[in-house]
């Protein structure tokens, strides 16, 4: 076997044209796919939900911070708000939950099939070519650790601080909509 030596470290398992390289790619892809699915459905979706809640709160705060009403205006506003119908979204919420549960189930099944096929291919390659599976797993697990830390950092530091809703654009749209009402 032709090995490429770099000081004391054997880098031949990175050669994409070799069975080591193919197994390395397959191991990395399998580990990352499993991680990404688990990470998204357990952690990232919760953080995204928190981000959405923060964005909604910031938007509502921005929309209501300059409202100053006289007692007469306040009573008129409260009377208008009393007539506002809030839709019962429990059926829609149940439908969203059912849809999400179905999606999670499909993702788990697809991931299980992919994982089983990948493990079978890797085991077959290892059986025939006897490459250093332990090193490939260690390198890919270390890489996965750094990817996981990067994902967690990005979600908690960058994504939480990013403001995708522009309160001023929403205010403008609301004002334009109200100005367009014919009964005012």
Helices (H) and strands (E) counted in the chain, each on its own, are 7, 2
CA pair distance 165, 157, nearest whole angstrom: 17
CA pair distance 161, 144, nearest whole angstrom: 25
Whether the per-residue pLDDT at 8 is higher than 80: the answer is: no
Give CA 18 to chain center in angstroms. Answer: 34
Q: What is the rounded (10 degree) CA torsion for 163, 167, 168, 171?
A: 160
CA pair distance 89, 131, nearest whole angstrom: 56
At residue 11, the pLDDT reads 55
68-72, 76-80, 175-179: range with lowest mean pLDDT: 68-72
Domain positions in the chain are 5-179
Cβ(20)–Cβ(12) below 8 Å: yes
From residue 25, give the alpha-carbon distance in Å to each of 34, 128, 129, 138, 147. 14, 17, 16, 13, 15
CB atoms within 10 A of CB 14: 14
Whether the per-residue pLDDT at 9 is higher than 80: the answer is: no
Between residues 122 and 184, the one the model is more confident about: 122
pLDDT tens profile 75-128: 887 888 888 888 888 999 999 999 999 999 999 999 999 999 999 999 999 999
* φ, ψ of residue 10 in degrees (nearest 5): -85, 115
101-115, 144-158, 161-175: range with lowest mean pLDDT: 161-175
Cβ(153)–Cβ(39) below 8 Å: no
Region 170-177: what's the mean pLDDT? 84
At residue 5, the pLDDT reads 46
Between residues 172 and 11, the one the model is more confident about: 172
Whether the per-residue pLDDT at 66 is higher than 50: the answer is: yes
What does pLDDT average to over the chain?
87
């Amino acid at each position: 076997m032709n090995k490429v030596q770099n000081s004391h470290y054997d880098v031949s398992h990175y050669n994409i044209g070799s069975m080591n390289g193919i197994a390395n790619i397959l191991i990395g892809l399998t580990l990352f796919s499993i991680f990404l699915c688990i990470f998204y459905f357990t952690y990232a979706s919760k953080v995204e939900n928190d981000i959405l809640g923060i964005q909604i709160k910031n938007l509502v705060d921005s929309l209501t911070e300059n409202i100053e009403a006289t007692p007469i205006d306040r009573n008129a506003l409260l009377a208008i708000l009393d007539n506002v119908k809030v839709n019962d979204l429990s059926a829609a919420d149940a439908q969203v939950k059912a849809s999400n549960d179905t999606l999670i189930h499909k993702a788990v099944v697809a991931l299980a099939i992919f994982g089983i096929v990948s493990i079978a291919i890797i085991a077959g390659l290892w059986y025939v070519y006897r490459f250093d599976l332990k090193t490939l797993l260690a390198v890919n697990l270390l890489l996965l650790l750094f990817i996981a830390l990067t994902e967690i950092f990005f979600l908690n530091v960058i994504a939480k601080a990013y403001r995708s809703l522009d309160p001023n654009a929403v205010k403008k749209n609301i004002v334009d909509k109200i100005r367009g009402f014919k009964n005012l």
